[in-house]
Structure 1
């Protein structure tokens, strides 16, 4: 009968395995570590409890603050939409009023009546003013709440200020413009201004100025429920309060997570960043009960932790006395085994009495094999015995230099290495010398590195000697020359005179002082050497008459190998480059003169036609006078009048010829203070001859009171004439009808990259430029004309850039259709 199957062995539960591991780990610890863990466990439990309480309070408070922030953001955006809608409604009403004025459907009395109706109906409107194109107030009406300093009178001219600046912006853009004028007195109230331009038939005819009370806008535009829940204010772009009452700063609360008042702000459209709506939530907190509970739990936890720490420190002090004994025993053994320097002790006869582990590891011999040996020792190479015996005799006699000496040491395997030995007397506790202590350091690797550095220095020196530039290094405040390559010695010799001359002409720091105090005082005392050595090198181009060369000098401060602050100067011969630059400048000047001659050659027929009129008039006057004199039918007054007209026509012809002669004559560039009005006038008069030949109208506008430019007037006139002549030719090639044949020149001030400039713009009504032409328009010898040379626009750009300006070209579009081209360039103010 078969035996029953054996029952399976019982499985150890998953819960018992960690418990057994924990007990095994605990029993493996020493009693000291068990006591330490037993003391730290209660402290950790108390700290974890306190942390859990603090995190719970913080989490609840954070959730509450987030909900408040979300509600605040939603309410503020709702209020912003209401204020924006109210502003847009008032803007639409002002625009209707401006449209009626533009269409001449309103008289002054009707305007005042409608303004009074709007102001009485909408409390945020404080004043409505009609200003004509000359900034003169035609009619105005204000609310009774407007202060006397802010009232406007009929016939008054709007002077320079915020309102005048806004007037100019509305005139240029022909769009409604908002602004907030600055407050000039303590009794004025903050106002928001809206200027709507009057543009009958597209021509600017003034503005309708509406002024809003910012306080009333906040009071009547913000929903009541938002004003009830939050402290709502209106601020300007600089966060200055305009309306409303903000919450006072909160004092820090009792709880560590006490937060500041929730606040949210958004800009009010269409005003933009100039008017900001801000709301602050009223104070919310957990109250005294929540604060008291938190601090009670925290105080109890801190007291419990303090008592546990005191008990643990008492136990630790008792254990420190026991550990000090063990540490004192292991200290010296640890020192011997941890240092990498080999230590060897000899008695007075030269017998080895002690070696450390590092010495044994260096030589490969064990302590038992080395202790007790007499010279020659087993780690001495055979070929070095005589030398090492002599060294040992010096060592035992105490004649070894403090810097030690270098020897060759043989390992047990036969390998050799370099070592440096330092010897000092070994004195016992009673002050008597019992032998000599020798420390041995393996210097094989430092020797190898030193040899590599020597070879690297040689290579570096060879490279510097072969350079085509002069290189010199000298310390600051000294006449010593630390380094000079071959080219420097060839130019200046082996003294520092050349180095100092290069530094002086390049504008560097003084290398030495010439007064008597320089012998005892450092001229660069207190200078931050880190800043000097990390600074970028500076370049300068100088001319040395002694060498007859132009040199590019670069200098840099560096810390020399001995720690002194030195200056390195590199001088490169750039004489060929300077000669090439001077030749290029002369060629450019000739090209400018040739361009002016070409321009006048192209305009020759127009100039001849322009001169024909005064010459024909002179001929007619002279013929008429001769005829009447012969017939004796002319009186003295008639003769005088005819002669005056003849002289006037002759002067006119002479002026035309003189302007052409001044324009085309060759002259050196002469930059001086130039009046923009005079430059434009001369250019317009010369270019007008060519434009009239092409039947093109020329209009120009120059802003008033423009500051003078530092420029060459002839060159700038050349640029303007070339641009206007090109515009006339583009219109002629486009075959535009007479109504569309016009070239406009505008000169206005601008600001480019925070720099005040004057912008010149020449706009024509031709067919514009193709994209591939725009990409190569200013390149030399590139032209769109069959007979063009391709140097006109390239020279124009070169002239503008030589005046530190920039030139740009772009097409003018009316939808998808190109209606002309605009060339513009700007020049910085003097």
Structure 2
């Protein structure tokens, strides 16, 4: 371990001077003593040849211990070295707080014992100490004893010297030398892949890096890199490809300089998937610069903990980066040569082609290639034959022979030749010696029989496709998304839009559409929306309003399909005129509305007796109160005006009640179409209960209504939902009158279900009929004197409101009918 190179006599002399100064300090005042201690500690550092490592922190302090090993003096320099203030340690022994490293306690005890037992007056001790913050220091202690006039030891004076930096530097130097030796020896005898694998291994083992890799820039995809050697967690791992975009490697390549991130590397490069995958915390990489000055790759290290910024490590990475770049270039050159040889072999042996050469007499000198197999020949089989002998013809104008003759004249040529039932594309060029003299011909023939067959099949397929489109019953248009114009329209499209084809081909969808569609959306906006869906691979089907040449609007249903043709995107649109369909739907709605109205009138006819009873009660009351008022006026004496006003108020309120009954009756039998408004469902149910109240009383049926608390309003038509409720309630009355379990009861309840409200009508009757009876179909009824339209009409009404009507048997008895309605949108 390092030692301050001072002789024993020199140190003893210096410590004697220190003792004298300490004696003077004992006799001085406290402020003077503190100042003197500061000067003395600095003088002590200078006296033993030690300069502080930085102005803000001392390297040498002064500590005095009494005969019991308790601290009696602790200077500011000691505080700077160890972190404890004087008031925290004065009076304490060194083993009463965490000052000495656990492994060096015995060493310190031995040094103290030598001094206190009088074996020596001076000694040194090298040991590890703790700062107050837990940092481990390497300190060299210079210790001497102080004696009184009787020669007794009264104190020990120590000068602790913090040599942590020097020890670390020497350790780093030793580590650097060992790492250089390990990496150099480990890679010296390797080349190519073996070199890269050895390099990443020994760099990782030398510096305890978790990940080390060599990566090459992908020549075909410059924004990607692929590793060629990857050391991970103590072994070679599978190589990977990663993107340079947003990565530290990109900085290394662009800046052509070393990239270092001591910690939080993923914060700096949040989009780097590789850093995230390996939980990297730190990163160091050097560019691998080729002989041409271009960056061919990187040598990089990563760790899942912070990385110390050390110049020696940077130096080693940069040094071996240069060697790695040379090795990569050599490997690329070898790979390129190997690829060239492989391509040549494939070209001459494996491709479905025939390669040959001839001499000046057009005699084959070489023939090879997998294409010979289709001609039932082997490589070299035709060598020695002339072209005339091979083709068994003497005509020099025969295509394959003619292009060889032109090649002998220095003219390259190509021709399509049919031979032995196959079609070949033939290329022939002059064959020259190194001096450029023509010595024969070289030719290549590729079997294109299948290609020709496919081309012919494609032509036929395209023709069939065009005929199918041209004669399709619906209008078909093809739209070029780049130009926004139609590139093809069929006869049905011309007839639908009343434009000739040549004019339609200069137009686009917006040219034959109104500005705003029927749903209120702008045509341009809706067009972009559906075309984007088609380009994304969807097949949108939607309603669209077109406008023909005469200005007539045409409601249509359109189906789009995306096609790729010649590098451009074509949208195929199938357009169906739904004018008649719309008319039929409107007619059906009118018929359904009329049928519902007839059913309401019929229902009202069935309930007319009960309703008359409901009206009789308020009318009878009005009559009685009217007579009473007449009698009161006719009586002699003063008129009791208070009672008169009271009876007149009764007549007014009773008349209003009768008026409400008539209003509800008139509304119920109205023939207005469905008009959805925001309604209170409870009010609709109360109106239905009023209309059926008399029937329930006459039949002795108990009706229970349980509304849900805080039920939101619904979007519905008041009259039509009343009709559904009256139908369901009357059906329940009929069911419990025929047979009930106990006293006849009909229960009505509501509940919220997400963005819907459910209304339930349940009875304690016999339940639904057995078997799969289609009770929701028109003219299907289980009652003898009924048309069977109630549930069918109710189903149509509920569906028109976007809800459902369902029926089931109760958990124990009776039937349960439930329908749902959408809640009204909440106001902002």
TM-score where L is the length of structure 1:
0.51
Aligned to 2:821: 827
Cα distance between partner residues in 1 of 2:714 and 2:340? 87
Offset, 1:741: 2.9
Aligned to 2:717: 712
Matched, 1:797 2:776: no
Aligned to 1:741: 744
Offset, 1:600: 1.1
Cα distance between partner residues in 2 of 1:776 and 1:397? 92
8 Å Cα contact 2:403/2:428 also seen in 1: no
Q: 1:382 to 1:666 in 2, by over 3 A?
A: farther
Offset, 1:792: 0.9
Cα distance between partner residues in 1 of 2:561 and 2:610? 61
8 Å Cα contact 1:756/1:829 also seen in 2: yes
Aligned to 1:811: 809
Offset, 1:368: 7.6
8 Å Cα contact 1:722/1:792 also seen in 2: yes
Offset, 1:489: 4.0
8 Å Cα contact 2:557/2:576 also seen in 1: yes
Aligned to 1:776: 774
Aligned to 1:670: 675
Aligned to 1:539: 541
Aligned to 2:608: 604
Describe the SS at the equivalent of 2:492: helix
Name whichever of 676-685 and 460-469 sits farther off.
Answer: 676-685
Matched, 1:354 2:355: no
Offset, 1:553: 0.9
Q: Tell me the alpha carbon deviations over residues 471-510 of structure 1, each in whole angstroms, 9 at most, x when there is no partner.
A: 2223322145443333234435241524455799888997
Q: 1:328 to 1:501 in 2, by over 3 A?
A: closer
Aligned to 1:435: 440
Q: Tell me the alpha carbon deviations over residues 744-782 of structure 1, each in whole angstroms, 9 at most, x when there is no partner.
A: 2212223xxxx343221222232322223x642212211
Q: 1:381 to 1:543 in 2, by over 3 A?
A: farther
8 Å Cα contact 1:677/1:702 also seen in 2: yes
Cα distance between partner residues in 1 of 2:817 and 2:459? 65
Cα distance between partner residues in 2 of 1:417 and 1:377? 19
Describe the SS at the equivalent of 2:391: coil
Offset, 1:350: 4.0
Matched, 1:343 2:355: yes
Residues 744-755 of structure 1 mapped to structure 2, 5 A cutoff = 744-750=747-753, 755=754
8 Å Cα contact 1:592/1:795 also seen in 2: yes
Q: Tell me the alpha carbon deviations over residues 62-118 of structure 1, each in whole angstroms, 9 at most, x when there is no partner.
A: xxxxxxxxxxxxxxxxxxxxxxxxxxxxxxxxxxxxxxxxxxxxxxxxxxxxxxxxx
- Structure 1: segments with no counterpart, 5+ residues: 1-326, 410-414, 514-522
8 Å Cα contact 1:675/1:708 also seen in 2: yes
Describe the SS at the equivalent of 1:788: coil
Cα distance between partner residues in 2 of 1:329 and 1:639? 123
For the pair shown, the structure with the greater C-alpha radius of gyration is 2
Matched, 1:474 2:479: yes
Aligned to 1:759: 758
8 Å Cα contact 1:396/1:436 also seen in 2: yes
Aligned to 2:463: 458
Describe the SS at the equivalent of 1:601: helix
Q: Tell me the alpha carbon deviations over residues 208-239 of structure 1, each in whole angstroms, 9 at most, x when there is no partner.
A: xxxxxxxxxxxxxxxxxxxxxxxxxxxxxxxx
> What is the aligned length?
475
- Pairing partner for 1:550 from 555, 574, 578: 555
Describe the SS at the equivalent of 2:750: strand
Q: 1:796 to 1:480 in 2, by over 3 A?
A: closer
- Structure 2: segments with no counterpart, 5+ residues: 1-338
Cα distance between partner residues in 1 of 2:629 and 2:676? 48
Cα RMSD after superposing both structures? 4.0
Cα distance between partner residues in 2 of 1:666 and 1:330? 87
Describe the SS at the equivalent of 1:378: helix
Cα distance between partner residues in 2 of 1:405 and 1:338? 22
8 Å Cα contact 1:760/1:824 also seen in 2: yes
Cα distance between partner residues in 1 of 2:508 and 2:606? 57
Q: 1:361 to 1:779 in 2, by over 3 A?
A: closer
Q: 1:450 to 1:512 in 2, by over 3 A?
A: farther
Q: 1:602 to 1:362 in 2, by over 3 A?
A: closer
Q: 1:735 to 1:483 in 2, by over 3 A?
A: closer
TM-score where L is the length of structure 2:
0.51
- Pairing partner for 2:507 from 486, 497, 503: 497
Q: Tell me the alpha carbon deviations over residues 680-726 of structure 1, each in whole angstroms, 9 at most, x when there is no partner.
A: 22222222233223232222121222221122222222222222222
Q: Tell me the alpha carbon deviations over residues 230-280 of structure 1, each in whole angstroms, 9 at most, x when there is no partner.
A: xxxxxxxxxxxxxxxxxxxxxxxxxxxxxxxxxxxxxxxxxxxxxxxxxxx
Offset, 1:797: 2.0
Instruction: Between the two structures, name the one with larger relative contact order (CA 8 Å, sep ≥ 6).
Output: 1
Offset, 1:642: 3.9
Cα distance between partner residues in 2 of 1:536 and 1:436? 56
Offset, 1:537: 0.3
8 Å Cα contact 1:477/1:511 also seen in 2: no
Aligned to 2:783: 785
